[in-house]
Chains A and B, each alone.
Chain A
C-alpha cells in the first residue's frame, strides 16, 4: 500500500441536467481492492465510465498514477493501463475466444511476459484454452464472463475495473468466478469492483464505498463487521 494508482477528486458527471455522480472522492492504492456498491441508478457504472473516459467529466478530476485523465479518450486510457470488464460482458460474440483474447493482447503496453500471462490466464480459466477456436457467442454466461475478465487481464493493466461481474450468473458460477478474482487480487492487481450483491463486494474488497444518488453514503472496511441492515440503511437512506 502507499502509491496511489487512482484518484477521484470531487467528481461530478451529468447527463443533461441530471447529476449522475456528485462530489465523489476516492483513492485507490497499488494492490488494493475497493468495492463500489449501491442501488440501481446510484452512479456506479457512470463512475467507471467517467474513469474510462466514456462519459465526460462535468467537474472534478480523475487521475491515474497522479496524471489527470480529464479529456482523454477511452482508447488512450485503456492503452495507458486501465482495463474494464464491462457490465453485460460485451464480448465479441462472432469472434473466436482466441480473437477476443487477442484484442486484450493488442492493448498491452509491452509484449514482455506475454507467454507467462497467457499461461496464468489459462490456468485461472482452463475452459478458454479448450474453446479457443469456438465463437465466443456460443459460450455460456459464466464462460463469457471468464473471457471478459481474461481479455482485460491479458492487457496487463495496473488497474482492473469490474462492472457487475456476478450479473445474471448462477450462485455456483459466481462462487467459482470470485475464487478466480481472489487469485487475481492476490497476484497484486489493483481492483475497483462495482457489484450489486453488496455482501459479496464487502467481503471481497479491502474496503467498500456505498454510493447513493451519486454521492458517497458510507465507507466500509473489509474488516468491519457490518450487518445487512446497515448496508440497507446506507442504500436507502433510512
Chain B
C-alpha cells in the first residue's frame, strides 16, 4: 500500500510537469494553430541557463532561466509571425527545422554528453508523510503545477486579456473584427508558454540533473502525445492529456517488472494508439462538441 501511494505521488508530480509543458504547447496552438516542436528547445535553453549560472544564488538562476525562456519564446514568435497564414504543414516543418537547428547549436557549444546542472539538488531528499516516503521535489512539482495551472486558468477566465485570448483561439478572424489585437494575444501566448517552459526546466533539472541538447525535446514528445490524447483543440483537455501521460508513465514504470522497463515507451505508446482508435478527437472531447481552444 505504501508503494502504491508513493507511485501515485510520483505520478501526480510528473503528470503536473507534463501538464505544464502541454499547457505551454496548447496556448500557442490555440492562437496560432501551430504545433511547436521547438518548444522543447525553450525548455532546454532554460536548463542551460541554470547550468551557466551555477555560481549565482538560486533566485537569480531561476529568474535568469525564466528570462532566457521568455526571450527565446518571443524570438520564435518573431520567426513564426510571417508564417501565420502559411499551411499547417509549412508551419510544422518550420518548427522541426528550428528544433533541430537549436539542438545542434547546443551540441556544438556544450557537447552531447551532458553537464551537471546542480540546481536545488537538496529537493531530491525524502520526507516521510503518513508513513509514505516522498521526495521534496515531488511535493514541489505538484505545488508548482497546481499554482501555475490555477494562475493560467485565472488569467484566461477572469481577465479581459484572457477573454481576448480565448476569443482569438476560438475564432481568430471574428475576434479581430471585434477589435481584439492579434499581435498582443499571440505575443502573450508565447510569453506565457516561455514562463511555463522555464518552470518545467526547473522541475526537471532537480530530478534529471544533466543538461543535454535534447533535455527539453525528450519532455516535449510525451507532452505532445498527451496533448493529442487529451484533445489538441481544447486547452483544458490538452493539459489533462499531458497530465495523464506523465501519470501513466510513472504508474506503468512501477507496474512493469524491472527487466521489462525497457518496453515502457512501447507500452505507453501502445496505450495511446488504443485511446486514439477509440476516441480519435481526444480522450476528454465529447463527440460532436464544438471546440473552444482555450
List chain A positions with a Cβ less than 8 A from chain B.
Answer: 52, 54, 73-75, 78-79, 84, 86, 90, 92-95, 99, 102-104, 106-107, 137, 151, 155
Known contacts A86-B174, A106-B164; decide if A78 and B179 are in contact (CB<8 Å): yes
Q: Judging by beta carbons under 8 Å apart, are A137 and B290 in contact?
A: yes
Q: Judging by beta carbons under 8 Å apart, are A86 and B176 in contact?
A: no
Q: Judging by beta carbons under 8 Å apart, are B292 and A95 in contact?
A: yes
B176, chain A: closest CB distance, angstroms? 4
Known contacts A103-B163, A103-B167; decide if A54 and B173 are in contact (CB<8 Å): yes
CA distance A155 to B166 in the complex (A): 19
Q: Mark B162-197, 1 if CB is under 8 A from A, else 0.
A: 011011001101111111111000000000000000
A144, chain B: closest CB distance, angstroms? 13
Question: Does B259 sit at the interface, judged by CB under 8 A?
Answer: no
List chain B positions with a Cβ less than 8 A from chain A.
Answer: 160, 163-164, 166-167, 170-171, 173-182, 290-292
Q: Judging by beta carbons under 8 Å apart, are A52 and B163 in contact?
A: no
CB-CB < 8 A to B292: which residues of A?
Answer: 92-95
Best-surrounded residue of A84, A86, A92 (most CB of chain B within 10 A): A92
CB-CB < 8 A to A95: which residues of B?
Answer: 163, 166-167, 170, 292
CB-CB < 8 A to B164: which residues of A?
Answer: 103, 106
Known: A106-B160, A106-B178, A106-B180. 8 other contacts (CB 8 A): A75-B176, A75-B177, A75-B181, A75-B182, A78-B177, A86-B174, A92-B170, A103-B164
Known contacts A90-B171, A106-B163; decide if A78 and B290 are in contact (CB<8 Å): no
List 8 A-B pairs, Cβ < 8 Å.
Answer: A73-B176, A78-B176, A78-B179, A86-B177, A92-B167, A92-B292, A93-B290, A99-B163
B239, chain A: closest CB distance, angstroms? 16
Name the residue of chain B whose CB is nearest to the CB of A52: B177
CB-CB < 8 A to A74: which residues of B?
Answer: 173, 176-177
Q: Judging by beta carbons under 8 Å apart, are B177 and A94 in contact?
A: no
CA distance A210 to B11 in the complex (A): 66
CA distance A54 to B174 in the complex (A): 10
CA distance A73 to B173 in the complex (A): 11
CA distance A183 to B45 in the complex (A): 59
Q: Judging by beta carbons under 8 Å apart, are A75 and B170 in contact?
A: no
Q: Judging by beta carbons under 8 Å apart, are A78 and B182 in contact?
A: no
CA distance A137 to B87 in the complex (A): 29
CB-CB < 8 A to A90: which residues of B?
Answer: 171, 174, 177
CB-CB < 8 A to A92: which residues of B?
Answer: 166-167, 170-171, 174, 292
B169, chain A: closest CB distance, angstroms? 10
CB-CB < 8 A to B171: which residues of A?
Answer: 90, 92
Q: Judging by beta carbons under 8 Å apart, are B179 and A94 in contact?
A: no
CA distance A92 to B167 in the complex (A): 7
CA distance A99 to B294 in the complex (A): 14
CB-CB < 8 A to B160: which residues of A?
Answer: 102, 106
CA distance A137 to B170 in the complex (A): 13
B293, chain A: closest CB distance, angstroms? 9
CB-CB < 8 A to A79: which residues of B?
Answer: 179
CB-CB < 8 A to B177: which residues of A?
Answer: 52, 54, 74-75, 78, 84, 86, 90
B180's partner among A93, A94, A103 (CB-CB below 8 A) is: A103
A145, chain B: closest CB distance, angstroms? 15
A66, chain B: closest CB distance, angstroms? 21
B163, chain A: closest CB distance, angstroms? 6
CA distance A95 to B292 in the complex (A): 8
CA distance A103 to B164 in the complex (A): 7
Known contacts A90-B174, A94-B170, A137-B290; decide if A75 and B180 are in contact (CB<8 Å): yes
CA distance A64 to B15 in the complex (A): 53
B157, chain A: closest CB distance, angstroms? 9
CB-CB < 8 A to B173: which residues of A?
Answer: 54, 74
CA distance A84 to B178 in the complex (A): 8
Known contacts A94-B290, A95-B166, A95-B292; decide if A106 and B179 are in contact (CB<8 Å): yes
Give 6 closest A-B pairs by Cβ, nearest first: A107-B179, A94-B292, A78-B179, A79-B179, A74-B176, A90-B174
CB-CB < 8 A to B174: which residues of A?
Answer: 86, 90, 92
Q: Judging by beta carbons under 8 Å apart, are A103 and B176 in contact?
A: no
Name the residue of chain B whose CB is nearest to the CB of A78: B179
CA distance A154 to B292 in the complex (A): 23
Name the residue of chain B whose CB is nearest to the CB of A108: B179
